[in-house]
Structure 1
Amino acid sequence: MSLRTYLRALNDLNQHLTAHHSIEEKYVFPILATRMPSFAENEEHRQSHEGIHKGLDRLGALTKTYREDPTSFSPEEVRKCLESFKDVLMRHMDDEVKDLGAENMKKYWKLEEIDELGF
């Protein structure tokens, strides 16, 4: 893979994660929080989102720098950046999978209500 293609892939990853995460925060989580304590505002949730956003912001800045000056590219710096928010991102995703699983959702919502939400 060329450096240009790799940087495009990093940029795409950043944009997709940022958009996905922003949509969750603005539209999905507030609705789920009305019944589900795990989606209500809490310190752990807030800190995980801050950690993810901080890592994505740094990844965006690195990608921009490398696209503008490919000679400055440092694979070690990219790895360090990705690893800086890997744990919080993976833990966040694991928690969401658990919280959005059918058995847990049944505790708070009827199937008809989920259908009406339009997610």
Structure 2
Amino acid sequence: MSTNPDAPSKETEALPKLSASEFREYNRLAEHMEYFHNHFRHTWNTLYDACCANKRPSGVSIRQFMNMGMEFTSQLNMHHSIEEQHVFPNLAKKMPQFKNGLDLLKQHKEIHKGMDRLEEYLEACRTGEKELRLSEMKGVMDTFGKVLWEHLDDEVRTLGAENMRKYWTIDEMKRFRM
């Protein structure tokens, strides 16, 4: 085994071009993740745009709007729980990006701090303890929006074909379920 520090690592070696079917297989997890992330982006945008305009979307009651926010936090929490308990541990077997303490998991922790605050705020509004003020809600969303959007992009990019092929064989990818 060569210990030459100038020898190219597996990551820097030029990898052969993928066929269309190989690309699809290696990119499958990224596409699957992008599907879920697009739902979160859409809901975030609906909520955030209303907060910026200081006006709920047309035809959406206060109760429906608050429920949309609560469902957003609940669904994102469930999504992250599935990733952390089932998906990330499998990926971490070969991919350092999914090991505890690294960026993607640190992003989850930062996102959850903001999500918890949003959920607490909306719950206080739902129970009548506070009055819903879209400017206040925007302030809460601003505490985690940047890291959320970075995370949604980083995770998909990390699961993309060109990165996945550095760690997994095509046969391993075919057996990988999300």
TM over 0.5: yes
Cα distance in structure 2, aligned partners of 1:6 and 1:115: 41
Q: Of residues 143, 148, 169 in structure 2, which corresponds to 1:89?
A: 148
In structure 2, runs of 5+ residues without a counterpart are: 1-59
Comparing 68-77 with 52-61, greater Cα deviation is found at: 68-77
More helix by share: 1
1:47 aligns with 2:106: yes
Letter in structure 1 aligned against 2:117 = R
Which amino acid in structure 2 is aligned with residue 21 of structure 1? Answer: H
Instruction: Give the structure 2 partner of residue 13 of structure 1.
Output: 72
Percent identical among aligned pairs is: 38
Q: 1:82 to 1:30 in 2, by over 3 A?
A: same
* Equivalent in the alignment of 2:160: 101
Count of aligned residue pairs for this structure pair: 119
Q: Is the 8 A contact 2:92 2:98 kept in 1?
A: yes
| Higher relative contact order (Cα pairs below 8 Å, separated by 6+ residues) | 2
Q: How far off its partner does 1:19 sit?
A: 0.4
1:61 aligned residue: 120
The farther-off stretch of 67-76 and 30-39 is 67-76
Amino acid at match of 1:6: F
Structure 1 or 2, whichever has the larger Rg, is 2
Question: Can you give the 5+ residue segments of structure 1 that lack an aligned partner in the other structure?
Answer: none
Partner of 1:38: 97
- Over 6 Å off, 4+ runs: none
